[in-house]
A and B are shown apart, each in its own frame.
With several copies, the nearest count.
Chain A
Amino acid sequence: MLVVRAINENDLDALYSMATQVGTGMTTLKPDMKMLGDRLATACASFAETIPPEQRDYMFVMEDTSNGRIAGVCAIKGAVGLTEPFYNYRIGTLVHSSRELNVFTKMDTLYLSNDLTGSSELCSLFLHPDYRQGHNGKLLSKSRFLFIAQFPHLFTQKIIAEMRGYQADDGSSPFYEGLGRHFFKMDFHHVDDLTALGKKSFIAELMPRQPLYIDYLPKEAQEVVGQVHKSTAPARRLLEQEGLHYEGYVDIFDAGPVLQARVSELRAMRDSELATVAPDTDMAHACAPAHPEPTLVSNTVLKDFRMIVTQATPVNGEIDLSTQDLQLLRCHMGDTVRTLPLNVRKNNV
């Protein structure tokens, strides 16, 4: 059985072995014992609330309780950009118009910005290939929204997720080739590695800081602004269903979109409910939907936050969970849990 839970001190080795599977492209999860150890310590301090909210890094692991294996990992950073500047390009609009010539030109424009400074970030999502099936991916990714809905006071107004940008078949980034290369005069992957290592002051020194019309870029670069990497498209759709949107912020190197939402407008904030664990009654049984939808259920304990996906459905503020489910959640009859339909309800319009 799978449970997503707050990471703990004993997970370091499993985390490292997971990181060896990740490959390039995810700069926050590299197989480096020192880096991972530091991060784990921050995560444990986060759940223990011994560091301030903006320094926190809530990491979750998906555990297969049948064999104790770690099947996946994901995280929420309390705030980005408060120690190193967090850069994006923001896409704005400028209109050039002359009534005399009857010309009206609407141009998309790139602004180098730190606007997202202080936002909370969804990051480091990785599911082991052996577990890529069924609801597992959804459970892992969406568990973070249930956590936010349970503890909204821990998060800033805005939540973001950076998506890997479009790459050509040869692994090159048309956006970088059209823009960054002129200023960095080095390889895309080289720049990417430097960023991962935290060598970021060069961004302020080398990037063009003046607003740029996207029209100045080669067509291939223009076309990929805000486009995700092929392999990232499903993750993007999933986050969009939860209420995140592309609002015109992109990565400065590969122009991958940043998805964002007000915390208060996440689906989980609107649609998740508290329920009391209670045995099934005739009345509840009668009122339950004929075709139950899978439901995400979590306990309400910060330090040992645990989430599962189950077929049980809350009815009138009560939910009947199996003994196994209760064990996974470390809950008992009478405890309060938080529930959220795993899938998005279709609009009734």
Chain B
Amino acid sequence: MYVVRPVEAGDIAALEALAAVTMPGVHTLPKTRDKIEQAVERSIASFAAQVDIPSEESYLFVLEALAERKIVGTAAIFASAGSNGTYFSFRNDVIQQVSRDLNICHNVHALTLCSELTAYSQLSSFYVDEALQERPEAALLSRSRLLFAVQQPQRFGDRFFVPLAGVTDEKGGSPFWDALGRKFFKMDFLDAERVIGGARNRTLIVELMPHYPVYVPLLPGDAQAAMGQIHPSGELAFNLLTAEGFEADEYIDIFDGGPILQAHKHALRTFTSSQTLRVRTGDGQVPEGPLVNYAIANNAGPAFRAVTIACPELEGCEAVALSPELQDILRVAEGDSVTCVRV
């Protein structure tokens, strides 16, 4: 069995071990002991905080394999992106060009540096052990952040986004960066990401990045091809998020051109189709009929826990049957309410 829960101080060593694994697509997961400690402390403080308006909170969830007591995945959500500045991205604008005299009509794409994603809630740091990538636990982990947001709307914005790492070559170079950022920063992609610490809210971005729209047709072919393309490591996250209702295409990352998925919460399946059901104790029998996978989260605020189960369609039901073991894992009892959504 697996459970998703907020990170705890005891997880630091496990996270350090995880960070040692190469995860090229996950820039936002801290890599050093110090940074990991800070991230864990910040998450614990965030879960504990009384929040009226989303601000600098950052919530870090882990996926734990209960049998081995092992951390096999992470996923985070920031309450408000760029909360200590401005979150910069490129907006993918389309300029329609029509010439009546010449009977020409075509669209020109242009990238505009914009701050529209500032104050969105930002999903990040999604990582799941390779062995679990095909399993419903991957979806559970990704979606737990949104289940928490459904239960605690005051902690989050009305809109969410997720930047996914863009494509890089074998040497860690980015064709998109080479065509754009390098001209202004005068440094390699990895160096730039290092100095800026993966952030997108720094004054130096205003100082250095182009303020006028970048006409896409003027970019070299490989840079154009990289726009909105994900690094292979991000494919799982991409698939889970688009299934959730996130949309790509409108924004891309200013550094590597990777896609930024975004959505209003009304467009997200977790928000529109999750149900609040009562817990009843199951008889342990495998139910008859076709089974579907659900994510089930308790409703315990900072003591948030979520699991997946396979059960018959819950549509129209008022209660969900959970075995005593699952009730233990979720720390709920018969009659408690849980939030359920199909994964």
B284 at the interface (CB under 8 A from A): no
> Which residues of the partner chain B approach A205 to less than 8 Å between Cβ atoms?
97-101, 203, 206-207
Interface string of A43-73 (1 = CB under 8 A from B): 0000000000000000000000000000000
> Which residues of the partner chain A approach B211 to less than 8 Å between Cβ atoms?
209
A interface SS class: mixed
> Which residues of the partner chain B approach A202 to less than 8 Å between Cβ atoms?
99, 101-102, 104
**Complex Cα gap A179–B210 (Å):** 18
B204 near A183 (CB under 8 angstroms)? Answer: no
B219 at the interface (CB under 8 A from A): yes
* Min CB gap A63→B, angstroms: 40
- Which B residues, 205 to 245, have Cβ-Cβ distances below 8 Å to chain A? 206-215, 217-219
Find A96's partner among B97, B195, B207, B214 (CB 8 Å cutoff).
B207
Find B110's partner among A97, A98, A201, A210 (CB 8 Å cutoff).
A210
B186 at the interface (CB under 8 A from A): yes
Interface string of A184-214 (1 = CB under 8 A from B): 1100000000100001011011101111110
* Min CB gap A35→B, angstroms: 19
Interface string of A91-129 (1 = CB under 8 A from B): 000001110110101010000000000000000000000
B171 at the interface (CB under 8 A from A): no
B102 near A199 (CB under 8 angstroms)? Answer: yes
**Complex Cα gap A213–B110 (Å):** 14
A217 at the interface (CB under 8 A from B): yes
Task: Give chain A's interface residue range (CB within 8 Å of chain B).
Answer: 20 to 34
A280 at the interface (CB under 8 A from B): no
B33 at the interface (CB under 8 A from A): no
A216 at the interface (CB under 8 A from B): yes
**Complex Cα gap A217–B110 (Å):** 15
A185 near B106 (CB under 8 angstroms)? Answer: yes
> Which residues of the partner chain B approach A204 to less than 8 Å between Cβ atoms?
206-207
A237 at the interface (CB under 8 A from B): no
Task: Give chain B's interface residue range (CB within 8 Å of chain A).
Answer: 20 to 34
**Complex Cα gap A210–B217 (Å):** 14
Find B204's partner among A98, A107, A199, A217 (CB 8 Å cutoff).
A98
Interface string of B86-121 (1 = CB under 8 A from A): 000000000001111110101010100000000000
B271 at the interface (CB under 8 A from A): no
* Min CB gap A213→B, angstroms: 6
**Complex Cα gap A208–B58 (Å):** 33
B266 at the interface (CB under 8 A from A): no
**Complex Cα gap A184–B186 (Å):** 30
A217 near B213 (CB under 8 angstroms)? Answer: no
* Min CB gap A205→B, angstroms: 4
B218 near A216 (CB under 8 angstroms)? Answer: yes
> Which residues of the partner chain B approach A97 to less than 8 Å between Cβ atoms?
207-208
Closest to B112 in A: A210
Which residues of B come within 8 Å of A, CB atoms?
A: 97-102, 104, 106, 108, 110, 183-187, 195, 203-204, 206-215, 217-219
Q: List 25 A-B contacts (CB under 8 A).
A: A96-B207, A96-B209, A98-B207, A101-B195, A101-B204, A103-B185, A103-B186, A103-B208, A178-B218, A184-B104, A199-B101, A199-B102, A201-B100, A201-B101, A201-B207, A202-B101, A204-B207, A205-B97, A205-B203, A206-B102, A213-B183, A213-B210, A216-B214, A216-B219, A217-B218
Closest CB pairs A-B (n = 5): A182-B217, A98-B207, A98-B204, A202-B99, A205-B99
